[in-house]
A and B are shown apart, each in its own frame.
Chain A
Amino acid sequence: MSATLPDAVVDSAAIAAATSRRRSVWALAIRNPSVIFGGAILLIMLVIAILAPYLGTVDPTRIDPAMRNKKPDTVLTYRLDDGTQAKRTAIMGTDSLGRDVYSRVIYGTRVSLTVGISVAIIAVALGLAIGLISGYVRWADGIIMRIMDGLMAIPPILLAIALVSIWRAGLVTVIFAIVVPEVPRVVRLVRSVVLTVREEPYVEGAISVGTPTITLMWRHILPNTVAPLIVQATFTAAAAIIIEAILSFLGIGIPPETPSWGNIMAEGRTLFRVFPHNIMYPGIFLAFAVLAINIMGDGLRDTLDPKMSKKV
């Protein structure tokens, strides 16, 4: 996190010292039990998402009218393309169109993680850029913050719903519909860090030795935003996954044939009393994914950003 410098003359001791310090903060973070626990679950989820086709799944979009509404652990008989028959246990049952719930849940991991990670990255990147401008360009600050306040006045889920209704559903539109309400929160965070750090004597010291504004931001101010932003990114990812699931559940998110946890649950709503598995299994995965990210976020906040952990 220390400044990038023309590295030709930096002697080896300086490099060693710099890296050891950098490592120490991160070492503390990755040794935190919450970070390990949450990170491990998340890693498993990631592996599931990548290896989805190899985890005993079938085509998650394949409709089979003969296999509708089977309870978990039903043994299904498939007719394969070459005419032979194959048996397979549907450990999570099937839905009302005969699709295999297990396969859909496993593939659903892909959608949720994609949404969580993309929203976190895009929201943080946009928020960082806007926040820096807001914290440093005085005339822009007023306008930007009014717009951000306005966006924050619309409850996030409603804002996402509104945006989805404008753009029509689809993975990309859902991602952007979730990004928009998250951006103002990042902007505020970055701006407050910039405004606080700008008052620090070491920044004033840098100003009085004639450091140009761009360098000042890059070298003295930006590094202070990294820890809070990483923490913010994890919580944003968790919120994004929940909002995606809500939108899909309400039938206004990702197109229903795409296997996402929200969609599976939406499909299972009508027959919930008889076949609760359609809602329970994706629900468990969803809760676990979000829980893992939140626990990791808590751990990261405690280690990387102890000042912030006192707030929320």
Chain B
Amino acid sequence: MPDKKPVLEVRNLTVALPKGADRVHAVENVSFTVNPGEIVCLVGESGSGKSVIAFTVMGLLAKALKPTGGEILLEGENILAASEDRLRQLRCTRMSMIFQEPMTALNPVMTCGEQIDEVLETHTKLDAAARKAKIIAILTRVKLPEPERIYASFPHQLSGGQRQRIMIAMALVLDPVLLIADEPTTALDVTTQAEILKLIAELQEGQGTGVLFITHDFGVVAEIAHRVAVLRWGELVEMGPTEQILSRPTQDYTKMLIGSVPSIVPAHRGVRRDGETVLRTEKLGKTYVSKGFFQKGRTVRAAADVDLDIRRGETLGIVGESGSGKSTVARCIARLIDPTEGKVYLGDTEIATLPPGRLRPHRRKVQIVFQDPYRSLNPRMTVGDSIVEGPMNFGLSRSEALARARTLMETVRLDPNALDRYPHQFSGGQRQRICIARALAMEPELLIADEAVSALDVSVQKQVLELLDEIRQRLKLAVLFITHDLRVAAQICDFVAVMSQGKVVEYGAAEQVFGAPRHDYTKALFAAAPGRHWDFSKASAA
């Protein structure tokens, strides 16, 4: 490929942040190229500036951000110097972009066909019939079934994967030389993600399109990238062919990052099932009923016939895609919602049907850590107040509770003197530690982690996972770990229940489920995991 001219050349790009931000530049002195037919991944954690670069190339940067230096050459033309009119001409004809959230990226009140048609109307002189034919052709190329029907459909009538295909069709209908993909599969389930990745790779290879692919997920990088650029705090850490970066990174940061990616091969955890049973569910189910006047009432079985048990010192993982019912089960067990069927035994007590008054003493035994660290703590209360709230509800004096909170802050590796600070003064990972401390302050028997590390960057995620596992061991806690991330599940779980459409389809020891899945759905799920052939532990060893 060296004989071809690059489609995109970014030279010493610097983008300034508005005054008062935590640093001066969103992007500083970044240079890289994308060649025709090549997929270049920009990878980094949140705040690395990877999306800013993508938006700068498209000329869609928020007004507060200003490119202050360098140049961006699209087929040799400096986009930073181009007029707004020229940029509009280039968009969708020479460079296109697809976004993270297919659910919101399409206009809800226009049909998909109309939205693609707009592109042709704006940039070509084709007549209506020719445009329609071209749209049907591209819909077929992105492998949407029944293109005629899809053409007339509104976005809300399509699934997330289908909407992302519409976005791709819209982006590629005029055969641009550059496609920018900003985390295009992050919001999608793993099986859909695999299909979309495959589609992008096929289409760009066929057309020789250069792709600038933004992602935080090294699994996706291993799956799709030809070359990788690692970013941190707006600076380029290192860049090179995928193979080289993933297996022989030279920079410490890259090594740390890749070393933090959990392996999909389950760890040998040596489970001895000798503890007493903490939680047991019997045919647990939750059915939602919605009423209609002319239609029959619709019933949704969010979860059905779920049998689980967890003993002291064990971690049981529930893995599944969105809508599989895994969170419903967790919330039923924590009695944040009331189960409609089945039983939940905490030790010997059945709590599924206990009235609120009698339930209260049992609440202490089950504690839950939620996904979103930014909404899990009351912003108006100091973290100390949040931690002591529970123990004080159960009769501890404030001083005793505070003493316990100080100890717990040390347990979760935070400064005990930070108890009088407010949540907004902590980072996401720190907040998640505080949430763990708040849960532990109740001295629970069962800790539920509902996607507790999913919102965290991979390096922070690793630390929180290690912390959780250490606490489990030390306190002999039973842990129920809800996750959509197979890699995380493989590392932290002793047992795994795979859920699909409200039911547990496979349930067994983690090593067995991961090593030799039996159910078709489990097999499909594992086969779709991006970068499954790549063992990231090699890099940290190197």
Contact = CB atoms under 8 A, between A and B. Distances in A.
Contacts of A1: 380
Contacts of A206: 378, 389
Interface string A1-24: 111011011010110011001000
A312 interface: no
A17 B399 contact: no
Contact of B390 (A2, A201, A209): A209
Contact of A205 (B360, B376, B419, B421): B376
Interface string A206-234: 11111110010001100100000000000
A210 B364 contact: yes
Contacts of A18: 382
A204 interface: yes
B420 A223 contact: no
Interface in B131-176: none
Contact of A17 (B382, B402, B442): B382
Contacts of A209: 363-364, 367, 389-390, 393, 438, 441-442
B368 to A, nearest CB: 5
Given A11-B420, A208-B368, A5 B363 contact: no
Contacts of B1: none
A204 B379 CA distance: 14
Given A8-B398, A202-B376, A208-B334, A14 B382 contact: yes
B475 interface: no
A215 B393 CA distance: 10
Most buried by A among B380, B393, B402, B442: B380
A220 B381 CA distance: 9
Interface residues of A, number: 30
Contacts of B375: 200-202
Contacts of B442: 209-210
B32 interface: no
Nearest to A18: B382
B402 A208 contact: no
A1 B380 CA distance: 7
Contacts of B364: 209-210
B370 interface: yes
Contacts, number: 87
Contact of A208 (B363, B386, B394): B363
A18 B421 CA distance: 9
B393 A210 contact: yes
Nearest to B372: A201
B380 A3 contact: yes
B174 to A, nearest CB: 35
Given A205-B370, A205-B435, A209-B363, A220 B378 contact: yes
Contacts of A215: 393
Which range holds the interface residue count of chain B? 35 or more
B45 interface: no
B384 interface: yes
A6 B366 contact: no
Given A6-B398, A201-B372, A204-B370, A210 B390 contact: yes
Contacts of A14: 382, 384, 419-420
Nearest to B377: A202
B336 interface: yes
A17 B379 CA distance: 13
B385 interface: yes
A201 B422 contact: no
A209 B363 CA distance: 6
A210 B363 contact: yes
A9 B402 contact: yes
A147 to B, nearest CB: 22
A223 B381 CA distance: 11
A2 B372 CA distance: 22
A205 B438 contact: yes
Nearest to A14: B420
Interface in A67-114: none
A167 to B, nearest CB: 41
Contact of A21 (B371, B378, B422): B422
Interface of A: 1-3, 5-6, 8-9, 11, 13-14, 17-18, 21, 200-212, 215, 219-220, 223
Interface of B: 334, 336, 360, 363-364, 366-368, 370-372, 375-382, 384-386, 389-390, 393-394, 398-399, 402, 419-422, 435, 438, 441-442
19 contacts: A2-B381, A2-B385, A6-B398, A21-B380, A21-B422, A201-B371, A201-B372, A202-B376, A202-B377, A202-B379, A203-B378, A205-B370, A206-B378, A208-B336, A208-B363, A209-B363, A209-B389, A210-B390, A219-B381
